[in-house]
Amino acid sequence: MVKVGSLNISPPLLNAACAWASDLDQLQALFDCPYTGAVVTRTATIEGFAEDASHTVAFATSSTTSLNSYGYSPHRLSQYLSWIESILSLAKSTANSPSKKPFIISITATQTDDMHSIVDAIQALRAQAPVYANIGVEFNTSCPNIRGSAPSGYAFTDLVPVLDVLADAWRADNTLTIGLKLPPYVYGAQFAQVFETLRGLSTSRSAEEDGSGIHPIAYVACTNTLGNALLFPEQVEGASTPFAVPTALGGVAGDTLHPLALGNVYSFARLLEAEDSTSALKNLVIVGIGGVTSAEAAERMRRAGASIVGSATLFGGEGVRAFKILSGEV
């Protein structure tokens, strides 16, 4: 069991936010799976994302690698809130000791007003009954497939106003667990900038207001897909278009991403190690995501410094059986 903010994740294995955690049936299957310690939704926005035929995924034939051109979920945040409400209330009414498995709602916003609306809606559900308190939020800063919009996590200091909205929500209710989904970084100064910015976030208010030296951000999830990647149709299963995905370029994940994801986890783990023992950041949990396609790969993530491990590509190929595989039981 790993405690992240106010959430207990047991086992410390989860799905990464993805297209296969998009609708009610998929979320219910993840919730019912005994091998996941939490369910992470696909990234939701207030209005839903305008999805079309150019948004898709292809699987490589030579390794467990995916290339996807998806943006965010076409379903609105309000839809996710009502699906989660129905899954948790059904679990409560049908079991003597209902599952305490947390939901983590992946969300994103570029404007502070939108982030306010998102957090208010999530907090309204969490406040409704104790069964809904076990809901956290993951801010996706790293989708590489949004036309005309760079992944915000690559200009991390610009995120401060939106991060402040999340931090204020945590100061008002420090049972709200907040995570950040980060893009794959490729040089040291990028990791340092994330830490510097987060340090500034915790010291932007007095110690009394922050309460007990805990940081508002409970975890970082490393990493999202690596953008601007290209595969040709003969490299993937069943594509008949000139490129593996209609947009030509997409985010690569799975085995191909694994060494970079390990390096990202390792880099954050080293920064955490170097952090002063009194630092509010000291308790930051690292969720290792990227090419976790076998029990051995999950173990490598833990060796690199992850306390929790997540998977999307293997889950996309195998369904929830992926988590049995990653637990070493297949």
Ligand X SMILES: Cc1cc2nc3c(=O)[nH]c(=O)nc-3n(C[C@H](O)[C@H](O)[C@H](O)COP(=O)(O)O)c2cc1C
User: Where along the sequence are the contacts to ligand X (CB under 6 A)?
Assistant: 16-19, 42-43, 57, 66, 68, 70, 72, 106, 140, 181, 224-225, 253-254, 257, 289-292, 311-313, 316
State how far the Cα of 146 lies from the Cα of 206, in Å rounded to an integer.
37
Query: In this complex, which beta carbon is closest to ligand X, that of residue 5 or of residue 310?
Result: 310
DSSP 99: -
Could you tell me the smallest distance in angstroms from the CB atom of residue 13 to ligand X? Answer: 12
Torsion, Cα 164 167 172 175, to 10 degrees, reads 160
Look up tokens 């040709």; give the residue: 232
- Which amino acid is it at 175? T
Could you tell me the smallest distance in angstroms from the CB atom of residue 185 to ligand X? Answer: 13
- Which amino acid is it at 28? Q
Could you tell me the smallest distance in angstroms from the CB atom of residue 140 to ligand X? Answer: 4
3-state secondary structure of 301: helix
Query: In this complex, which beta carbon is closest to ligand X, that of residue 66 or of residue 307?
Result: 66
Could you tell me the smallest distance in angstroms from the CB atom of residue 40 to ligand X? Answer: 8
Query: In this complex, which beta carbon is closest to ligand X, that of residue 152 or of residue 225?
Result: 225
State how far the Cα of 317 lies from the Cα of 121, in Å rounded to an integer.
33
Could you tell me the smallest distance in angstroms from the CB atom of residue 69 to ligand X? Answer: 9
Query: In this complex, which beta carbon is closest to ligand X, that of residue 74 or of residue 216?
Result: 74
Query: In this complex, which beta carbon is closest to ligand X, that of residue 50 or of residue 95?
Result: 50
Closest CA to 180 of 171, 191, 188, 189: 191
The answer to whether residues 72 and 143 touch, using CB atoms and an 8 Å cutoff, is: yes
